[in-house]
Amino acid sequence: MTLYHGSEFVIKSPGFGAGRKDNDYGQGFYCTEDKALASEWAVDLNRDGYVNCYEIDLASMNVLNLNSSDYCVLHWITILLNNRRFELDTPLSREAYFYLNRYFMPDLGGVDVIKGYRADDSYFSYAQDFVNGVISVSRLVRAMRLGELGEQVFIRSKKAFQALSFLGEEYVSASEWYERKKKRDDLARHEYHRMNKESYVKGDLYMIRILDEEVRPDDPRLQ
């Protein structure tokens, strides 16, 4: 598999144990198979960057694919709850935290690589809204597809880090890629606000209903 990592730096040897602990899936190295997406991640308003290219063989890796049929969006949310800084300032959000951790937290023991959504910028606010009971599961799933979010590949274990081979880097300019990045995010935010103006749909799974009905991962409404 060929992977790309957008950064303001050239990173020939990603270091195991480096990076922030409060990112989506914890401390590790975040990549994507989409070079264009990595180019957007590499730049900021007034800063150019680099797309670093790597190769990795996943044949011997324990890969957790959150976008496979074995998992649902609530598994993804629960991992976020354990890493990102959520505002659990209501009784509902606190109860949601404990319930999701009890029934939807995947076993990460021995996992080398995680594949799943990236909760950047506006996308993280969708997750926050769901936990606070503002949007339902179906609307959360729709929201995650807004702006063609793409998928990230998270290098988690020392074994996975050691399997990464650096292939080279490519310089990317903010003048070319920042506007694309901003357009993607603006579109997602616009569509999300438009979606939230839609009428309440009876029967949708909101967080309070998940708690009341004790919905579990095998519930067909989550598929």
Place of tokens 């020392």: 158
Strand 2-7 vs strand 63-65: parallel, antiparallel, or unpaired?
Answer: unpaired
Mean pLDDT of all residues in the chain? 89
Query: What is residue 200's DSSP assignment?
Result: P
Domain regions of the chain by residue span = 2-217
In degrees, to the nearest 5, what angle opens at C-alpha 84 toward C-alphas 79 and 88? 95
63/106 Cα distance (integer angstroms): 12
- Counting Cα atoms < 13 Å in the Cβ hemisphere of 146 gives 28
Output the pLDDT for position 139: 85
pLDDT tens column, 135-186: 899 888 877 765 556 689 999 999 999 999 999 999 999 999 999 888 887 8
* pTM, full prediction: 0.89
Output the pLDDT for position 199: 65
Output the pLDDT for position 175: 93
Percent of the chain with pLDDT strictly greater than 90: 62
178: left (phi over 0), alpha (psi -120 to 50) or beta: alpha
The model's confidence at residue 12, banded by pLDDT at 50, 70 and 90, is very high
In terms of average pLDDT, the best of 89-98, 125-134, 180-189 is 89-98
The model's confidence at residue 127, banded by pLDDT at 50, 70 and 90, is confident
- The distance between the two most distant Cα atoms of the chain, rounded to a whole number of Å, is 52
Say if residues 63 and 115 touch (Cβ distance below 8 Å): yes
Output the pLDDT for position 58: 93
